[in-house]
Every structure is written in C-alpha cells, then in structure tokens.
Amino acid sequence: MNLKLSFSIVLLVFSQTFFAQESKTETASTEVSTTTTTTDVATATTPVDFKKQIQDLKDQEKAYLAKQEVDKKAAKIKADADKKAAEEAQKAAEKESTLAKVAEAKAAAEAKEAAEKAAKEKAVADKAQAEADKKAAEAAKDAANKTAKEAAIAAKAQADADKKVADEAEKISKEKIAAYKKDAEAAKDAETKLAKDVEKLKKEKEEADQKLAESAKLALQKSTKLAEQIAKAEAEAEKKAAAEAKIAAEKAPKNN
C-alpha cells in the first residue's frame, strides 16, 4: 500500500509538470489567435489542485496505517487471549490428571487395605478352625481313652465277679463233698446220693469253669477290641496333628 501511495504521488507530480509544460506550449502558439481561442487556452490551462490530492492520499495512507495498527493490536489481543485460554485449558487438564491420579492412588490404597483386612480375617478364621480341630481331636482321644478305661474296668469287674462265683461254687462243692462223705459213712444210701451230688457238683464246676473261661475270653476280646480302638484313635489323632502341622508350615511362609 505504501508503494501504491508513493507511486500515486509521483504520478501526480509528473502529471502536474506535464500539464504545466503543455499549457505553456499552447499559450505560445495561440498568442496570434483570436479571442475565442485565447479563452479556450485559458480554460484549458487552469491549474489542478494537486496539493489537495496529495494531502488526500496522505490522509488515506494515515488512515490505512492507523487501521493496520488497530488490526495489529486486535490480533495481538486475540493471540494473548488464545494463549491464556490454552494455558488455562492446560492447567485444567493437569488438575484433572492430578485428581484422577489421586483418586486412583486412593482406590489402590483402599483395595490394598481391604485385601490385608481379608487376609487377617482369614488367618484368624484359620487359626480358630485349627484350634477347634485340635480341641475336637483331643476330645475324641479323651473319649476313646475314657471308653477304653471304662471297658477295662467293666471287664475286670466281670472277671472278678466270675472268679468270685467260681470260688463260691468250689467252696460250696467242698463243703457238700465233706457233708456227703460224712453221710456216706453213716449210710450207704447217702453214699449213692453223694455220688450223684458229686457228679452234679462236677457238672456245676465244669459249667462254672466254662463260664469263667468264656468270661475271660470275652474280657480278652473286649481288651483286644479296646486296644484296637485306642490304636485307631491315636493313629487318627497323629494323622490329624500331622495335617495341622503341614497346614501351619504352609501358612508360616505366607505370614512372613
């Protein structure tokens, strides 16, 4: 635009000089002409107001430059506003990112705390279960021992009772034999009766001996069965204790 204005000014100056020279030439050639021709030349050589035109052009240039300055300032203001908006957007994005990271860290911490709490609760439950199993095993063992002791006591009592019965029978037999012998000396019939009584007593003794043998056999069977029950209970207790020890050994590294 500045080049155009400068070119316009040069053109106006050149035109002014050119028209001035033309006016002088026309005036010289028409000095001998008629009055009408002189009037026409005078009209043709009327000077143009180039100063005003140049001033107008300068005013236009100033207006253009002022407009350029205003546009430049407006562009700068817009650029500053865009820059500020971008910075604000970046700050907002960074703030959102920070909040998201904080929320994520908080969620991770809560999840870790919940997992640790669940692990502790599981450890407590496992310990309580192990203690309950141990107590149950001890109770089962105690019950088995108690049952075995009671069976042994009952077997011993039965054996004692059977022995007492046998002793009483033997004592009675001896007394009867003595009485029968005494009676046999007194009478022959008593001897026959004594023989029968002796046979009867022998049979009773055999029955008593058989009962005693059966009682002893039953006591032995009960004792054997009781020993098997005790051995089985002890084996189960040892097996359960070994399983509990294995579980405790597996949990120990996890707790560490």
Task: For residues 196 and 174, give the distance between their C-alpha atoms in angstroms, rounded to a whole number.
Answer: 14
- 73 in the same domain as 137: no
Give me 179's structure tokens: 């009485």
Residues of the chain with pLDDT > 70, as a percent, come to 77
- 29 in the same domain as 143: no
State yes or no: pLDDT of 41 exceeds 60. Answer: no
- 133 in the same domain as 74: no
- 69 in the same domain as 147: no
Task: For residues 219 and 111, give the distance between their C-alpha atoms in angstroms, rounded to a whole number.
Answer: 66
Domain count, the chain: 2
- 72 in the same domain as 137: no
Q: What is the pLDDT of residue 77?
A: 92
State yes or no: pLDDT of 256 exceeds 60. Answer: no
Span 94-107, mean pLDDT?
Answer: 82
pLDDT (tens digit, 9 = 90+) per residue, 9-24?
Answer: 545 544 555 444 444 4
In a domain, 66, yes or no: yes
- 64 in the same domain as 135: no
Per-residue buried b or exposed e for 98-120, using 16+ beta carbons within 10 Å of the residue's own CB = eeeeeeeeeeeeeeeeeeeeeee
Q: What is the pLDDT of residue 35?
A: 40
Residue pair 245/145 in contact (Cβ under 8 Å)? The answer is no
Give me 143's structure tokens: 């019950």
In a domain, 108, yes or no: no
pLDDT (tens digit, 9 = 90+) per residue, 136-189?
Answer: 888 888 888 888 888 888 888 888 888 888 888 778 778 877 775 676 577 777
- Which of 28, 61, 82 terminates a domain? The answer is 82
**Among 44, 43, 50, 49, residue whose Cα is nearest residue 13:** 50
In a domain, 110, yes or no: no
Specify the pTM: 0.27
Tokens 């020890």 belong to 245
Domain span at 141: 128-255
- 163 in the same domain as 76: no
- 157 in the same domain as 244: yes
In a domain, 65, yes or no: yes
- 154 in the same domain as 50: no
In a domain, 88, yes or no: no
Averaged confidence pLDDT in the chain: 76
- 157 in the same domain as 72: no
Residue pair 190/196 in contact (Cβ under 8 Å)? The answer is no
Helix (H, G, I), strand (E, B) or coil at 48: coil
Q: What is the pLDDT of residue 205?
A: 85
Q: What is the pLDDT of residue 122?
A: 86
Neighbours of 96 (CB within 10 A): 10
Q: What is the pLDDT of residue 54?
A: 85
- 247 in the same domain as 134: yes
